[in-house]
Chain A
């Protein structure tokens, strides 16, 4: 492939290392240091993509992250292909494959191009006005719309790359390593502040680093040379961290910023191997210095979007930095001096520049003079009225502007040949991050820019993002601002000797006139979304006034470039059309991120097993070795059931629950929350947080407690044991543990600071093995032979502090199954061993490990509730028929008052009942609704089934349910209407088994 479009003399391109890459299936070559854009241009390729709406051919417009047109799909691999990548940001590497988007069959011949001819029918918001008839057709229309919309394609396989986070805390963060950023970083670091310098490019130095013009000198050195020396010194400083290829995405309050550090996207496949692709930097800076520079503005004129039409600064950068000639026949179109720098730079490289078209009457700045001295033809007060060439710019037509710039001095039209047009509409300070942080802007009339006004945090903006565009101003003002901001005497950049070319005249026309009526023209404001000036005018005509409305109606600024180029023109056109002052139209809010941020980067390592924490009990390994299935309970992994061979869950649960009631079962209850309560007011504290009374509970005794919210609804429950006069251990539900502790701490610290009570979580300190069933006593006896297990010495609802071997443990005789049952709590490190010994001791009794599912079944047989399954935040203890646990005597407890509101006292509230199906083998579906009459409309739902199982011990199906007025429905027939059938049930007492609690003392 020929590189005839290269000029030598670029310090930034390594012409010795040739790199091959594919674009739209064809192989090309570039050099190390090229971006995809520069390499394509070097291969004389301008046509890169198609626009969003009209599918117009589009080329490369810029040389940076503001690129609206040249966005491509990178990579073919289903897992790592990436849509909407800016060709101007891709550094080429061997094996790079990219292709054009939003075109079919190819970018050269795109069927969608027909939209360009339908465009008269597709003005702003056309879709709000049509596709309504017939109503049923909208879905068909929509499918078509969706397929023509969208740009690139999403990957279809999981990402194989790794992303990471890093928290950074620094004294000073400098954003942007252009000339002012370099000054700032050096000054901060030299003043012993730990400093972080970030730049989105792969090289430091911004635009100055390739500024070779003799017109711009600092300390008598050409500005680029001076800056180079500064950078060399900078790199030697030790308390400075420099990160390139790092773009700040978001600037939040309290100087919290997010930046994306790109680590491997510029590397070839084998170079990337096992490297982190991108890192999200979470930066907390004491001070922030924003030096994000400015963006060159395009000009808005008819057909200003053809491939070959670029920003003048881009044409310059491609020549000076990449050594690439963008066109053989270049013309510049400008309203300021920038284009002259570009033109001169090209001329000096021997690149043909035909002329400059300048909408200004004249200018006598030294740079303009230089251009004239070089014999460059300048068309003063002329404008382009149209451009020609479909897939590549061929010609432009220009006319002389009238004085007011709104029409023409005469009807002469000059047509000029031109394959590359460099346009410059002046510069827009990059204030995006500043405004994201909450900063307020002010409008500067003289050059029509918004610049920082009020800072919301410890930050400053310096350089051109602060509205300083002339080299001498940049250096002087930056130095002054730094002194003040960092509270230092001097920066080392004080009174430098700077030579520059001052801009002497300015003129700005947001929408340049055409000889055609606006309706016939296409002056693009937002290139990517095909929003034109006439769309904006249409929106205004239809009554949309606010910039936000216009933006939304025309989609201006909604593209992947977020309107970096076009937003100012949109504002300008609105101001001109409505006669409102530009400063009063207001800006649209710039929302994070500054440039699009990969989801993977935001997520970092919080994927797969790190998506959420998992918690395991000390017995976990045993469960795994014994084929347990696990259930997620909150963050816990709990043994759910232990299938033997190819048992189904149902079979396993039937076996486990039968074995437990007939002989012995064992449950890992380690996940229950445990709170150690000490202090002289411990009893009073419990009186206030539980619905029942605690003062009289004997030492060594256990009691069930129910905890409410202040709104009277059941919140948590569990057994609490009195270990000593002022010492209790409270157990909570597994899921509720953390919330209960923080709720109780809250009351102690904020409502009852007078109480002498201390709460300490010991959930993880103890492993808990619950052995239950008629033979549990015998098993415990084998473990602790000298412990008297008689009901006299160790009755139900009591506790013993014992030793197993030499290890202390706490044993509670409590039961959630209705069986004789002991809960052994031991220091966690001995939990696994305890469990194994229980299994050994229980072998002769066929002790059967059971999981949460069997536990649920067993407690349901006894009518014990599970908070969160049988309750849903709308049940009072009365609704649950648990009046027995609610003290009438106590003056107050959390939630008591709410129980006495008119609606919480109603008799017809939903109340907990038991249900039996007429057919004992029919097991109800949990969640099924309950009704009292068939075929009524509307259907009156009385409640729903909360828990339902087939009970092997009763040989029939049982269920718990909440039913309106259920308390008074004992024996009543009700119906469960399913999709396919209706199930007949009878309301019964929720305690299905052993009402007399004989088994507890069996």
Chain B
């Protein structure tokens, strides 16, 4: 591997004042034709390209990104990674991803800082307790490391949580997945980009898709701001903008794109060393390696592509944070931002072929796509390469909305942060 990253290369380059580092990836102009084009240069899209090249030997492919790679939800999420999902199909999908996460830094030779600090989900009412127990049993039988915790065990694992019984919604218990945790979001996009680029994938930034050319019921190529690109396979991984691309191909998707907000506090010395999620009161918090509290807020209830949400959502989230962590009252919000999340009616993603031959969609990840990045890329690459879903993403087809075989993850599972 050229330009391999390691402490040794770091020392070597220090002597030349880091003047000799090579590009992590190139900045090519699009070719006339590719065997496949991935629309969307986020983590999922770049991972898809990476695995197409690596596992399916498709090297003549491109990723087109309308802005800058990793500039969408990849760079805007709260980086929670877990696989403790309720339904077999979801558990299979997300745990496949988690297994890849565990070796990703080494595979990419890029430190994505995957930190298995554990993810705890809290229960605040009796139905929460039933739901979390149900999920824990299902996880265990699906081979996912989830355990149910008593309130005392919750307190022991994360002492700063207010577990007193006289708060409005006392903590009645929780679940813990130790293999779960967080990763450095930008690094995931950059690592996959570097890996894909090295195998010959063209990563074309500032290249917006303007149209999808169809010949009857199969695709012929895409119109972009950098000209027409001929291709027989298009994998759309455009998150919040999936519907926009679908409309170009004359399709409608079961998606709504809504604002999702997040915020970070000023950096402080380590104070919370795990990830705690509370679905009932809506508080999600972890601490980044830099020391910032990373807090995920909820979605607004209207469609928006503005990357802005309403203040009431942020306020509601911080209300919940102070309910559970009264010690954070004097911490200060440093930055607040919004992303556009594409939400499916059943809160599960779509990794599927479409009625148009050669057109594939990977979308509907809603509020929880980051955790699935490597698995999503791997399975979507399989789907595109073989024109057939892998058994792990078979359930996440588009037809489920017609037949009624939904994978409903709101019912009993936590919001998919």
Note whether A and B contact each other (Cβ less than 8 A): yes
Using Cβ atoms and an 8 Å threshold, which residues of chain A touch B337?
591
Q: Count contacts on B: residues with CB < 8 A to the other chain.
A: 110
Using Cβ atoms and an 8 Å threshold, which residues of chain A touch B329?
155, 158-159, 161, 163, 598-600, 603, 607
Closest to B323 in A: A611
CB of A390 closer than 8 Å to a CB of B: no
- Are the C-beta atoms of A599 and B106 separated by less than 8 Å? no
Q: Which of B44-52, B236-244, B400-408 lies at the interface with chain A?
A: B400-408
Residues of chain A in range 923-978 having any CB-CB distance to chain B below 8 Å: 925-929, 931, 938-939, 941, 944, 946, 977-978
CB of B251 closer than 8 Å to a CB of A: no
Using Cβ atoms and an 8 Å threshold, which residues of chain B touch A927?
129-137
Chain A nearest CB from B277 CB (Å) reads 18
CB of A891 closer than 8 Å to a CB of B: no
- Are the C-beta atoms of A614 and B24 separated by less than 8 Å? no
Q: Which of A534, A593, A632 has the most CB of B within 10 A?
A: A632
- When chains A and B are docked, how far (Å) is the Cα of A135 from the Cα of B105? 8
- Are the C-beta atoms of B24 and A544 separated by less than 8 Å? yes
Chain B nearest CB from A261 CB (Å) reads 15
- Are the C-beta atoms of A599 and B103 separated by less than 8 Å? no
Closest to A260 in B: B332
- Are the C-beta atoms of B266 and A596 separated by less than 8 Å? yes
- Are the C-beta atoms of A926 and B133 separated by less than 8 Å? yes
Q: Which of A251-259, A311-319, A321-329 lies at the interface with chain B?
A: A251-259
Residues of chain B in range 297-341 having any CB-CB distance to chain A below 8 Å: 308, 310-311, 314-315, 318-323, 326-337
- Are the C-beta atoms of A542 and B290 separated by less than 8 Å? no
Chain A nearest CB from B135 CB (Å) reads 8
Chain B nearest CB from A501 CB (Å) reads 39
- Are the C-beta atoms of B68 and A941 separated by less than 8 Å? no
- When chains A and B are docked, how far (Å) is the Cα of A214 from the Cα of B139? 77
Q: Which of A142-150, A194-202, A818-826 lies at the interface with chain B?
A: A142-150
Given contacts A129-B10, A152-B268, contact A599 B333 (CB under 8 A): yes
Residues of chain A in range 858-909 having any CB-CB distance to chain B below 8 Å: 868-869, 872-874, 898, 901-904
Q: Which of B110-118, B224-232, B352-360, B367-375 lies at the interface with chain A?
A: B110-118
CB of B32 closer than 8 Å to a CB of A: no
CB of B267 closer than 8 Å to a CB of A: yes
- When chains A and B are docked, how far (Å) is the Cα of A606 from the Cα of B316? 9
Task: Work out how many contacts link A and B, with CB atoms closer than 8 A.
Answer: 309
- Are the C-beta atoms of B138 and A941 separated by less than 8 Å? yes
Using Cβ atoms and an 8 Å threshold, which residues of chain A touch B215?
none
As a 0/1 sequence over residues 124 to 152 of chain B, the CB contacts with chain A under 8 angstroms (1 = contact) are 11110111111111101111000000000
- When chains A and B are docked, how far (Å) is the Cα of A213 from the Cα of B66? 52
- When chains A and B are docked, how far (Å) is the Cα of A282 from the Cα of B312? 11
The residue from B160, B191, B273, B408 contacting A874, defined by CB atoms under 8 A apart? B408
- Counting contact residues on chain A (CB < 8 A from B), the size range is 35 or more
Using Cβ atoms and an 8 Å threshold, which residues of chain B touch A438?
308
Closest to B320 in A: A611
- Are the C-beta atoms of A130 and B111 separated by less than 8 Å? yes
CB of B109 closer than 8 Å to a CB of A: yes
- Are the C-beta atoms of B335 and A591 separated by less than 8 Å? yes
Q: Which of B13-21, B55-63, B77-85, B382-390 lies at the interface with chain A?
A: B13-21
As a 0/1 sequence over residues 112 to 126 of chain A, the CB contacts with chain B under 8 angstroms (1 = contact) are 000000001101001
The residue from B14, B115, B167, B323 contacting A120, defined by CB atoms under 8 A apart? B14
- Are the C-beta atoms of A929 and B332 separated by less than 8 Å? no
9 tightest Cβ-Cβ pairs between the two chains A and B = A519-B17, A150-B291, A159-B329, A927-B134, A927-B133, A158-B326, A872-B411, A596-B332, A543-B23
* Partner-B contacts on A (CB < 8 A): 52, 80-84, 120-121, 123, 126-133, 135, 138-139, 142, 145-147, 149-159, 161, 163, 250, 252-253, 256, 258, 282, 438, 517-520, 534, 538, 541-546, 548-549, 552-553, 555, 558, 560, 562, 591-593, 596-600, 602-603, 606-609, 611-612, 614, 631-633, 711-712, 868-869, 872-874, 898, 901-904, 925-929, 931, 938-939, 941, 944, 946, 977-979
**Beyond A127-B289, A132-B106, A926-B134: 10 further Cβ-contacts under 8 Å?**
A120-B17, A127-B111, A129-B9, A135-B103, A142-B289, A151-B267, A159-B329, A562-B335, A591-B336, A711-B345
* Partner-A contacts on B (CB < 8 A): 5-7, 9-11, 14, 16-19, 21-27, 67-68, 70-71, 75, 88, 103, 105-106, 109-111, 113-116, 124-127, 129-138, 140-143, 160, 162, 167-169, 184, 186-187, 190-191, 205, 265-271, 273, 281, 287, 289-291, 308, 310-311, 314-315, 318-323, 326-337, 345, 400, 402-406, 408, 410-412
22 contacts between A and B (CB under 8 A): A83-B266, A127-B289, A145-B289, A146-B273, A149-B291, A151-B266, A158-B329, A250-B336, A519-B19, A541-B21, A543-B23, A543-B25, A545-B68, A545-B205, A558-B290, A597-B333, A602-B333, A607-B319, A632-B169, A874-B406, A903-B403, A944-B137
